[in-house]
Structure 1
Amino acid sequence: MSLDKSHSDNRIQSLALRWRRRLEVFFPSKRITVEQARRLKKQMHDFSRGGLALFWQRQGIYAGAAILCGFYYSIPIAVLCYVLCQLTDLFDSFISLRVINRKDHSFRHSIVLLKWLFLSNTLSTLAVAIFTYLIAKLEGPTEHFSSLFFLFAAGLFAAVNNHQLPQVLAVRLIVYGALFIYIPGADIWNQHTSYQSTAWLHFATSLFVLYFVLECSVIFLRLYQKGLDQLDELRAERDRAQESYEVKSQFVSVVSHELRTPLTSINGSLTLLRDSDLSKNPDSAARMLDIAHKNSLRLSKLINDLLDIQKMEAHKMTYIFASVDLGELIDEAAESVTPYADQFETTIRVTQPKQPITIRGDHERMMQVLDNLLSNAVKFSHPGSYIELGASLQDGLPMLEVRDYGIGIPDDAHNKVFEKFSQVDNSDRRDFDGTGLGLSIVRQIVEDHDAEIDFESAPGEGTRFFITFPVAPDTADE
């Protein structure tokens, strides 16, 4: 008994879940993108604005239909149906005004208003359907010209003016379509007419007209959806142009800063060398030459970074893949960056893997990756601190890790770490030099190695960058 009850409960839950998913097509309740929410808002606004613009046209249609019904069939029914159509239309117009004059533009409020629009238009559809059905009853078993023409006009009106919201359009077409089939079909059923009867001709004609209305609905719906798609493309193009402009502005700001500082130093050093008697102060001359040399290297690195970015964007970056021992790689990287770290009174601690680890990669590009990561770690560390550089196996996958205990990365800057020309401080008077290209280049090189890079950071506690590589083909079978 309990098993039967459990099975019945599961069937009910499954049925409820199925209907919930179907309703979500009409009223999306899950998290959607900003573009989808904005698109729904525009559809509702266009629908409501169009409905209000056609208010007086609908009044003329209702009045004309009521006058014809009252003159030829029944005044009480004409008045009753006219009042019913007026009440539902006024309610529909009231909801449309709420949509247009809304102050809460959240997605949740859009769903609430969408449900109200769905309700108001459903009531309006039922009012028109009742009006048409009563006229068909008053006509009796005949050709039903008036009732079917009213239905045709209502369906075509919906196809032309309600395509902005497929939910509302579907309800109108379903109700009108069912009535389109029922009115002539009921005559055939009740009178048991033969296939030679004109009743079947009327039924076939109704199907043809219904198909025409449905086809018009699909055409107008596709045209509107295509217009929305084009609008989204234009908006996306505008956003891309804005992003390009911002990147260009950042490029000018960063490059001008990075060029101005070393050029000023080089110019100053060379001016002192030109205007001074080098024989009297050789130590000062050597110091000036050292400053000029260091700043020329800084300019060379800036140019190389710009060239690398250009190659990556053009997909012309070349790699020479071979077996790379991670233990040897981190030793070489630490040795290369140590002179730079000494300037900041920072040491690099290397942790060798417990066993040899080999990856398939480009040795020079991997050195470039570690050079950028270690240089950043040194730059943002406190004097007297240390940096950890290590290689290990994590869940069977080779991993490189660079960890510092410096200032860390603010939480609001995490999503900008790997962007081009992006730094924590992009102003002209920032505390740390750099183009903001290093980590962008690092990520691209890592991804070109089919690897992944990520980081963990806490302000004031430091940052940990780690790169996870796929298993090298020559070691995968071992």
Structure 2
Amino acid sequence: MEAKGKDIEQNGIELSNDIHSRIKRLKDYAHVGQKLSLQRTIIYSLSVFLAGFYYDPTVAMLFFVAIIAWEIYDVLLLRYILRTARDHSINIRKATFHVALATALSAATIALFCVAIAIQQGVGGNHFLPLFLLVSASIFAAMNNHQFLPILGLRLFIYVVAILYIPIRDVWIVRPPITSEIWLNLFTVLFVVGFILELARSFLTGYSSLLKSRLALEIEHKHALAASEAKTRFLATVSHELRTPLTSIKGALDIINSGNSGEIPEKMARLLEMAGRNSNRLNDLVVDLLLLQSSDAGKFSLDMTRIDLGNVVNDAVTSFHAYAQTTGVVVVCDINPHQFYIVGDKKRLDQVVTNLLSNAAKFSNSNDDIHVKLVRDGDDVVLSVQDNGIGIPENSETKVFEEFGQIDSSDQRRFQGTGLGLAVSKRIVEAHGGTIYYESTLGVGSTFYVRLKSAIPDHEGNSSAITLP
């Protein structure tokens, strides 16, 4: 039963793909037809004018009226296909039938028109004009009407029959010797017909291959969107489910470590401190996940105010000193306040600075210095965080700012981490209309830069909450 169910599901997928392919072919046919409608009308008009001028104008006018009537029918049909395909109400069978009918009427009229010209030219002539029109129409069809093999085959069949009829008629009426040029005309036409058929096969094969690739890309795109939506839902669910118990655990550990609940036994102090530190790390991870999820969902909210970026950086460096001491690095920062003003979210930018400092400390050696600077560059303010650590390999830009990205992704990598810090920082900086980038030399160190638009100082501190897409 399970195998039968899978077969039914597979058949359903194949049927859906086949319907999608037919609709695509109809839309492509209609788009090309509309684009070339004026061109066809001009060519038909000039051909009829020549035939009417040099031969019978009455016959030429009758065929012109018929050709224009089928062209109008074709234009209305193409509009119907595009309109119904756009609102998903198209009847594929009905549309395909009318395409075949329009093809048969149009091709038959053109073929009869050319045969009529050849008959008016008499027997034994070179019949250049009618054969040229038929061959041109065949090549035109092979190049532009290759969306459906039966439709193209019907049009080419009608044209080829007319092309062959003209020299065969001459041979049948005159019955010349094999050395006559009348036979040569027939042989030449046969070569031309072979060329037309090969051209049609080439265009049809190329289009079918292209259509398969387009459909495969669309399917992959849908799968990628579904995977992205699943990832977003997973992150949202996990983050929210973790946050509630984690808040309780972190709060309890903070109370215990503060000593408010009583003196901590010496043997438990180190373990509780470790638990508190790791609960803070886990809390930061959950916050980062929530930020990424809200950004993906288009609900990334920023509280934009006119702030002194120098104060933000100094506060972040001060808060980071305790962690810097545990890693053995020294943060060197000499930034004067009241010089670098921007419009931004103070809390989020503090998070960016902290992430950059943490990243620099993680990849630095003990007793190394981390230099933090703020400079003005034209209308921008540029923050730089420089370390003398291991550096970053060339062509690693994508992986550096990728979510969960790690230059060394092995289980035994030396530097642990989730790979979210720089990804989150990039989202925050870009939400502020800024850019984040780096310069690095392997084995020498790295410098990360954050470039933001400068603002005029405003001591009134007007603020506004905005939601960025």
TM-score scaled by structure 1? 0.48
TM-score scaled by structure 2? 0.49
